[in-house]
Chains A and B, each alone.
Chain A
Amino acid sequence: MKRGDLSNLAWGAALLVLAALLPLTGDGYLISLGVTIAMYTVLATSWALFSGPTHYISLATAAFFGVGTYVTGAGIDHLPYWTLLPIAAVVGGVLAALVGLATLRLSGVYFVIFTLGLAEMTRQVVTWYQNKTGHKGTYVLTDLTDNDIYWQLVALAGLVFLIGWAVGRSRLGFALRIIGDDEDVARHVGINTALSKVALFIVSGAVAAVVGAIIAPRYVYIEPSTAFTPMLSFQVVIMALLGGTGRLWGPLVGVIPFTLLWEAISSSFPNQTTLLLGLSFLAIVYLLPGGFVGLWDRVKHRSARRRALA
């Protein structure tokens, strides 16, 4: 391990501890905002682990997330809460593996549409099942507070960053970057492209399901239209791209401003949130192709060149 790595790890740990101190403020609004930010940080970062290097845009986040909330919803009366998180991870991972094996041979827009369709289909299946059994939704009653949910999400964020850091330094991470650049070249240098992609897709699917399982108690009452809302998938993509997927911490710098803006807009103009989504997307396409990370890199590059010339 190099010295730079150690200092990065130390910085990461320190920031995580700092984030974990937020509930000490005792401010309910801040903590609730913290939960939202932590949730999207985990979702966007794990999304970027797969979609960042490979450029495969997945809109299946809502499917994994929803499945996770339903694991908690269905299991909370029968099993101890702590066993539900690993179960959600396994269920999300298996779903991701199945989807991955079926779709990762598809390229570009076909993959995007399929993942969007998958989320919708999962929602329809759950709705159908609930209608058949005469329920509309499920109650999730626990004594978990916002603080507990927040700490779980912060811990999960720490885990995701650790996984991302390890993958970035591994052969697998290098393989994914090559796949993202040119899949034909990847195959011809000897990379098992399908296996590499599925492996990372499983990680991001499992993480999204665990987030759903953790968040479920906050919803108290879950029904398919909230658990599988396609809006979630779009928000995750926009936040990750806004921050930039070129660095592990990129999505985080997209999540924070976006969530704050979203909160501000939805409290005063509740009907205009979709507009924010659209404008952010335009901003990414026209102004910030590499997200905030790309902007930062360009500024740094330019000032370095100016210094070299001076």
Chain B
Amino acid sequence: MVDISNPNQSRMPRRPFSVKTQTGFTEMAIICFFLLYAPLIPLVVYSFNAGDSLAFWEGFSLRWYVAAWNNEMVKDVTIRSIYLASVASVIATTLATMAALGTTRIKPYKGQTAIYAMINQPLMVPEIVTAVALLIMFAWIKAATDYHGMAYLIIAHTAFCIPFAYLPIRARLEGMDLTLETAAADLYATPWLTFRRVTLPLVWPGILAGGILAFVISLDDVVITQLVKSAGQNTLPTYMLGQLRRVITPEVHAISSVLLAVSVAIVTAIFFLNRRIK
């Protein structure tokens, strides 16, 4: 296919023909990866800005991190976020583990698909719809009981965390060798002992991944928290949503950068955890 009339082409041989190449795809992919990360760069850079302004760079400083750290409000909402995410993810992971054990390992039974659909239901419904439905129900309960505590947020977060915790645990259980449990039973292990010494250690990576996922999902939630919370129950994301409507100072950038770093650290941890198991 060398065109002799074109001297350039005969001097520079074409790259060997690869069946896997598509014109422009590699370039598009590189642009795509660039676009995924580029918007985050100014956010992080401006969090280190010494000046008040977001438009001009006035030198490196950690003052906005210090400001965020000393902000009582930020401290308060961060603690509430972590508390909420911890409680909700622990309960959700426990329930999801039980449900995963209850929907795998034996031949599918009647109603199992219905259970599966029900557990994944929160994934199907737009968050805003669940949020207003919860608002309606909780408004009722609040009026009837006059209780305005954290329990509403905890149960709401637990519910939408369950499918996220359930899926990795179920995947892990489905890949599990069932004969090991049978062997344990053959060796006179009680069902509980079999679970403690055989099943649990084998499923543990799934439970851990599910738990971390549930924690991250709960920590990130804006919509449901925003509509369900009572007065004075801001979490970090809802607090930030409120801040975005005011004049933004680089303090918001500092908080965002920290949250960004935490998320990346958690996801990286899961990645390497999975890799080690494989």
Q: Do they bind each other?
A: no
What is A's interface to B at a CB cutoff of 8 Å? none
